[in-house]
Structure 1
Amino acid sequence: MQSLDWIVLSLTLLFIVAYGAWKTRGSKNVEDYIKGGNETKWWTIGLSVMATQASAITFLSTPGQAFHSGMGFVQFYFGLPIAMVIICLVFIPIYHKLNVYTAYEYLESRFDVKTRTLTAILFLIQRGLAAGITIFAPAIILSAVLGWDLVTLNIIIGVLVIIYTVSGGTKAVSVTQKQQMAVIFGGMFIAFYLILQYLPDGITFTKALEIAGASNKMKVLDFSWDLNNRYTVWTGFLGGTFLMLSYFGTDQSQVQRYLSGKSVRESQLGLIFNGLLKVPMQFFILLVGVMVFVFYQFNASPLNFNPKANKVVQNSEFYADYQSLEKQHQQIEEKRKELIFNGITDESAVKLQELNEQDLTLKDEAKTLITKANEEVETNDKDYVFIHFILNNLPKGLIGLLLAVILSAAMSSTASELNALGSTTAVDLYKRNMATDRSESHYVKASKWFTLGWGILAILVACVANLFDNLIQLVNIIGSIFYGNVLGIFLLAFFFKYVKSNAVFIAAIITQLVIIIVWYIDWLPYLWLNALGCGLIMLLAFILQSIKNENSIIE
C-alpha cells in the first residue's frame, strides 16, 4: 500500500466514526438510545437493514465464492423478498402496536417471562458469536496486507466500532450506515469497471460472460433435490425463506433497525426497499467475483491465494514438490489462455472444463503439501481471492478505497450487532429480571455498559476464531443453528393461541438440542436447519400442549 491508500483508508474510517459519535451525542432516554427517537425515514431504514446484513464477510467472501463455484450462491437469497412481505404484513404491525423496544418483549405478553428470557438468550449466543466473526473477517485482510498481528487488528477494528456505537446507540448506527453504504456501492462499482478495463483487447463484457459460462461459472439456477448440494432453488426458497424470516423478523440486530421508523408505513417501505435491492446487489457482488475469475484466465494467478499458506510451504521441505505443482499450474494457465483466444466453441468449452478440473486437482495437492508443512495454516483460499486482486492490480488510492469498503461493511454490521446485543441484554434480561424500577438515565447507562461488554467479548471471539471453509458460510451456519427455533417460537405466538408457555418453553429446549446434533453429524445442509428447527418446535409444542390438555381433562 502507498501513502495515498493510507490517506484514503484512514480519512474514510475516521470520518465515519467521528460523524457518528458527533451527530448522535447526548441520548438521555431509552427511546432515543434504543429506538433512535422513532425518527428514521424509510430509505435510511432500508440502507441500514442492508448494511447490517452486508458485513465485511459479504465483500470478502462472496467474490471468492463466485470465483471458485460460480453464481449459484445467489439462490441463497431467493427467499428474502418473500420474507420481507410476510414481515411487513405480520411482524411490523404487531411490534409497532405494542410499542416494544425489542422483539422479545412481545413474547412475554403472549407467553411468559421465561420464554422471553430463553429466546433473548438464544439470540445473544448466536449474535455474540457472529459479531466476533464480523470483526475477524477484515482483520484477516489487513493482516495479509500489513503483516500485523491478528489480535492487534481485532482490537483496533473493535474499538473503532465501539466508540460511536456506545456513544450514540441506534441513531449512530443508522446515521453512519448511510455513509458506509455509499462507500460500499461506490467502491464495488469502480472495482467492477476496472476489472473489465483490465481484460485484453477484444474481450468485451459479453465475451467475458461467454468465457465464464464455458467454465460453468454462470449457472444461476439448480433445480435438483440433492441434499448434498447446499445451494439450489429449493434451499433458497424454502430454507432461505425461513432463515430470512427469522433473521429479519426476530433478530434484534435487524428488528431494531425498523423499530426506529417514524411509522408502520416507513418501516414497511424500508424492508420492501431492502427486499427489492438485496438480491440484485448480491448478484452483482458474485458477478464481480466471476469477472475476477475471467481476469485470471489471462493473467497469472497463485496456486493458493492465501499468502501465509504460500510462505509456510516455501520454508518447508515440501517446497520442491510445491514448485513442481506451480509449474504445472502455469502450463495449464497458458493452455487455457490459448484456448480462449482461439474462440469459445462447444469443443473448446469441454477442453476448458477439463483444464479447470486438472487445475483443481493441482490445487488440492497443493493444499495437502501446505497441511504437511503446517497443520495449523488455513489452506482454504476463497476469502483471499478478491483481496489478492485488489492489492496486486488496482491503482494507488483505489486500494485504500476498496479496503475502506470492506472495513466500512465490517463496522456497519458489527455496530448493529453490538447495538442489538446491548439493548437486548439491558431490556430483556437486566431491566426485566434484575433492576425493574430504575430511572431512564440508569437504563441508558446500562445499555452503554452492556454494549461495551459485548464489544469486548466480540473482540475476544475474533481473537480465537479460525476460518471455516468460507467466512460467509460460517456466519450463516451459526444463524441457521438458532434461527429456525426462534422463528418457530414467534410463529406460535402470532398464529396459534392454542399453545401455551410451558409447551413452547420445553419444545424450544428440545428443538435446540436436536438441531445442534443434526448440524454436528452433518445430516442436512445448513440452510435446511432453519426449516427443520421451525417445524420441529411447532410440532413438539402442539404435542406437549395436547398431552397437557388431555391430562387436565382426565384429572
Structure 2
Amino acid sequence: MELPILDLVVFFGYMLLIVLFGVSFSFKKRSSKDYITGGGKLPTWAIGMSIFATFVSSISFLALPGNAYLSDWNGFVFSLSIPLAAVVAVLFFVPLYRRIESNSAYFYLEQRFGLWARSYASLFYLLTQIARMGAILYLLALPMNILLGWSIPTIILITGVSVTIYAMFGGIEAVIWTDAIQGIILIGGALACIAVLFTSMPEGPGQIFDIAQAQDKMSLGSFEFNFTESTFWLVLVYGLFINLQNFGIDQSYIQRYISAKSNREAVKSTLFGSLLYIPISLMFFFIGTALFAYYQAMPELLPEQLQGMENADKIFPYFIVSALPKGITGLLVASIFAAGMSTVSTSVNSSATVILTDHIKRYLRPNLEHGSEMKVLLIASLVMGLTGTMAALLLNGVTSALDAWWALSSIFSGGILGLFLLGFISKKVSSKAAMIGVVCGVLVISWMSLSAFLPEELASFASNFHANLTIVLGTMTILLVGFLVTLFIPRPTTGDGHNLTIGQ
C-alpha cells in the first residue's frame, strides 16, 4: 500500500527540512565544548523536550498502541515509576554531574573506583548504543515497509544516513533542537490520530470507553506479588531501575544536564522532559485501546489477514494508511520517523563524546588541541552512525538475531547501574569489592538474558524469572556482593576516590 502524493510530499518535506535544519548549526563557529554541551546556553524547554524525545523511540510509538490493542495498560505502569526516579535525579544526579569538571558520565566512576571502572562503563555504553541504534532503525523499518512499500534495507539506509548527517555536523545543539521539533510533531500526530478515532466511532466517542470497559482493556495488571508474570508491581520495579539507569549513568541524559544554563534550569528541564512522557505514553496506550474499539465496532474495515491478535503491532500502521485523511497520514509517518531519528541522533552524539573524553583523551592524546577535538568528534559521530546503520542491516529478516541483540544489550548495560549505585551509596566499598560485585552481577544478567537461547538439553538451567527482572536482580546482586565483600576485604587507605559520593 503506497502513500498518496500529498502524504509523500509532507513526509519528504519533513525529512529534508529536519536534515537541513540540523546541518545549519555546523555553520556556527564552535569549540568542542559547544559541540558537546551547546556552550551551556540552551533553553530549558528545548532541553526538556529533548529528554522527552529521548524517552520516546519509534518502538514506543508503535509498540505501546500494539500492546494496548493486544492486552491492557499494564505497560503504562512503567511510566508511573518515572516521578520517583526523576526526584532522585534532580536531588542527587543533576548536582553531581554539574559539579564534576568533565563532559563524561564515567569520569565519576574513575574518581570512585579507578580507571578500570571508567573503561568498563564507557566501552559497554558504546556497545549498548550500537545495539540500540541497530534495533531501533530495524524496528522502524518494519512498519515503514508496510506504510511506504519500500524495501527494509532502503528505509534503514535513508534513515540512518539522514540522522548521521545532521547529528555529525550539528552537534548537541542540532540534536536538542531537532528533538524538540520532533517531539512536538510526535505529540501532534498522536492527537490527530485520537481526534480521527473519536469522530469515526458509529455511536460517538463514548463507545470507545464502553467497549474498553466491557473487555477490561484499561487494567493496569494484577496486583499479586508474582515474579514470573508481568504484574503491576513487577513493571513498577522494572521501570524504577531502568529510569535510574537512564538518569544516573546514561551519557545522553548527563549531556543534557550540563547543557543547561544553571543547576536550577537543569532541574526544571529534567522534570519537564521526564514528566511529559507520562501523559504522552498514556495517550499512546489509549490509541491502542481506541483502535481495538474501532475495529470491534466496525470489523469489516480490518482485512482478514490482520484480524488475529498476533498482528496487533500491525494494526496502527494499517490504520494510519487506510483511515486517516490525506496529509494527516504523512504527518503520522513523519511522527514515527521523528521518534526513531531523535533516539538515534542522541546515541550518535553521546557516543562521539564518550569516544573523545573517555578513550582518545584518556589513553591516546591527553593534551589534544581544540581543533583536533572537533575532528575526532566529527569522525566518531560518522563512525558510530554508520556502525549503527550497519547493525540494523545485519538484523534484516533475522528475528532471533534481534532477540539476541536485546539480550546482549541487557548484558552490556546492566552492570553499569549497579557499579554506579555501589559507589554512590557507600563511601566504604573498595575498588576490589566493586569489581567482584560487577563480575557476579553480569553473570546473573547473562544467565537471565541468555536463558531463552539455551539448547533443550540445558533447559533445566534456564531462569524462571520474568525477563523484566534481569536488570533488577543483576543490580541487586552487584550491590549485595559489593557490600558483603567489603565486610571481609579491608578497604585500602589509598587508591579509592571518595570525594564525590553522597554527603560530601
Q: Bigger shift: 213-222 or 443-452?
A: 213-222
Instruction: List aligned pairs for 1:28-47, cutoff 5 A.
Output: 28-47=30-49
Deviations 1:490-509 (A, max 9, x none): 11222211112232123213
**Counterpart for residue 324 of structure 1:** none
1:183–1:17: structure 2 CA closer, same or farther, 3 Å change rule?
same
Match of 2:334 in 1: 404
Length-normalised TM-score, structure 2: 0.89
Secondary structure (helix, strand or coil) at the match of 2:490 reads helix
* Deviation by residue 1:431-463 (Cα, 9 ceiling, x = unmatched): 111221210121221121111111111111111
Give the SS at the match of 1:191. helix
1:535 aligned to which of 463, 476, 490? 476
Residues 468 and 228 (structure 1), Cα distance of their counterparts in 2 relative to 1, 3 Å cut? farther
The answer on whether the counterparts of 1:30 and 1:444 sit within 8 Å (CA) in structure 2 is yes
Shift in Å, 1:475: 9.0
CA gap 1:477/1:240 in 2 versus in 1, 3 angstroms: farther
Is residue 258–residue 266 contact of structure 2 (8 Å, CA) maintained in 1? yes
Aligned-pair CA distance for 1:304: 4.1
Pick from 447, 452, 455 the counterpart of residue 382 of structure 2. 452
Distance 1:272 1:138, change over 3 A: same
Q: Residue 423 of structure 2 aligns with which residue?
A: 493
Aligned-partner residue type, residue 496 of structure 1: S
Tell me if 1:161 matches 2:160: no
Task: Return closer, same or farther for 1:206/1:107 CA change in 2, 3 Å cut-off.
Answer: same
| Matching residue of 2:293 | 294
SS state of the match for residue 342, structure 2? helix
Question: Using the alignment, how far apart are the partners of 1:282 and 1:493 within structure 2?
Answer: 33
Deviates more, 1:18-27 or 1:457-466: 18-27
Distance, in Å, in 2 between the alignment partners of 1:163 and 1:122 is: 24
Matched, 1:395 2:394: no
1:484 Cα deviation after fit: 4.1
Is 1:526 aligned to residue 467 of structure 2?
A: yes
Alpha-carbon distance, 1:208 to partner: 1.3
Kept after mapping to 1: 8 A contact 2:38/2:172: yes
The verdict on how the C-alpha distance between 1:82 and 1:467 changes in structure 2, with shifts beyond 3 A counting, is farther
2:264 pairs with 1:265: yes
Superposed CA deviations along residues 452-491 of structure 1, whole A, max 9, x for unmatched, are 111111111111225769x9x9998666545442112111
2:449 paired with 1:508: no
C-alpha distance in 2 between matches for 1:474 and 1:390: 30
Which range moves more in the overlay, 122-131 or 23-32? 23-32
| Aligned with residue 148 of structure 2, among 134, 146, 149 | 146
The one-letter amino acid of 1:523's match is N
Question: Identity rate of aligned residues, in percent?
Answer: 30
Kindly report the root-mean-square deviation, in angstroms, between the aligned alpha carbons of the 2 structures: 2.2
CA contact (8 A) 1:27 1:33 kept: no
| Structure-2 change in CA distance of 1:132 and 1:550 (3 Å) | closer
Distance 1:477 1:289, change over 3 A: farther
Code of the residue aligned with 1:534 in structure 2: it is T
Unaligned runs of 5+ in 2: 452-462, 494-504
Contact persistence 2:55–2:277 (CA under 8 A): no
**Aligned counterpart, 2:72:** 70
Q: What SS does the aligned partner of 1:549 have? A: coil
Q: 2:166 matched to 1:225?
A: no
Distance in structure 1 (CA, Å) of the matches to 2:492 and 2:160:
53
The C-alpha deviation readout for 1:42-65, integer Å capped at 9, x for no partner, is: 211211001012111111211111
Equivalent residue number for residue 240 of structure 2: 241
Deviation at 1:550, TM superposition (A): 8.9
Instruction: Work out the CA distance in 2 between the residues paired with 1:28 and 1:275.
Output: 29
Cα displacement (A) at 1:228: 2.8
**Residues 227, 234 of structure 2: 8 Å contact kept:** no
- Asked if the contact 1:96–1:259 (Cα under 8 Å) also holds between the matched residues in 2, the reply is yes
